[in-house]
A and B are shown apart, each in its own frame.
Chain A
Amino acid sequence: EAGVVQSPRYKIIEKKQPVAFWCNPISGHNTLYWYRQNLGQGPELLIRYENEEAVDDSQLPKDRFSAERLKGVDSTLKIQPAELGDSAVYLCASSLDVRGPEQYFGPGTRLTVT
């Protein structure tokens, strides 16, 4: 079974530039999560989707971050414009549905903003 796929794995951009991350969850997993992991810290939830609906985006900085999950499968997380403080690893995870508590994580995208 293929795991959660993310791309790109690494991204270096200058501040004020836009950037997008892509995630393909495990097949059949209805719930998708985006996390941000700062160096030396645990992941922090940005947004959670159940199918195509964003049901928890309270931690997403909406002035510059946006996300979408068209057709309830793949998802894209965008930052525009990026700031120096956005440098982090962005992790995507999925779970079978809201009853399946364990989440399976992708390898992450390491973003460096210069």
Chain B
Amino acid sequence: AQSVAQPEDQVNVAEGNPLTVKCTYSVSGNPYLFWYVQYPNRGLQFLLKYITGDNLVKGSYGFEAEFNKSQTSFHLKKPSALVSDSALYFCAVSSFGGSARQLTFGSGTQLTVLP
């Protein structure tokens, strides 16, 4: 079975500071990893994905994530946070073996950027 852990329910950061939202995963075979963002009363918006290749993935709105196979992590990062980045962030994993195409989400991390 595949699973995702987001160890922090809440992350607070000051505007202009770098931010990191942590994610670790467990999956059989090669992972496909994703980050989504959810604003209040909205659906999930796709931010970025790792499929293969370069371990540093760049996505929308200046976000990036680093894939670390040895630590089974896929942390979301941004060099300079904006107040408008405040939202709920979900990490997700899928594998093309076993339960193919099934996307498993973490429980989410609420990011608050303080002005």
Q: Are B43 and A4 in contact (CB under 8 A)?
A: yes
Q: Is the CB of B49 within 8 A of A102?
A: yes
> Which chain A residues lie closer than 8 Å to B46 at the CB level?
102-105
A43 touches which one: B32, B41, B44, B45 (CB < 8 A)?
Answer: B44
Closest residue of chain A to B103 (Cβ to Cβ) is A103
In this complex, what residue of A is CB-closest to B4? A42
Chain B residues 38 to 97 lying within 8 A of chain A, measured CB to CB, are 41-46, 49, 51, 90, 92, 94
C-alpha gap A110/B43 in the complex (Å): 11
Instruction: Tell me the B residues contacting A by CB distance below 8 Å.
Output: 4, 32, 34, 36, 41-46, 49, 51, 90, 92, 94, 99-103, 105-108
Interface residues of A (CB under 8 A from B): 4, 6, 31, 33, 40-45, 48, 56, 91, 93, 98, 101-108, 110
The 10 A-B pairs with the shortest beta carbon distances in the complex, nearest first, are: A42-B105, A105-B43, A105-B44, A107-B43, A101-B32, A106-B43, A108-B43, A102-B46, A42-B90, A43-B105
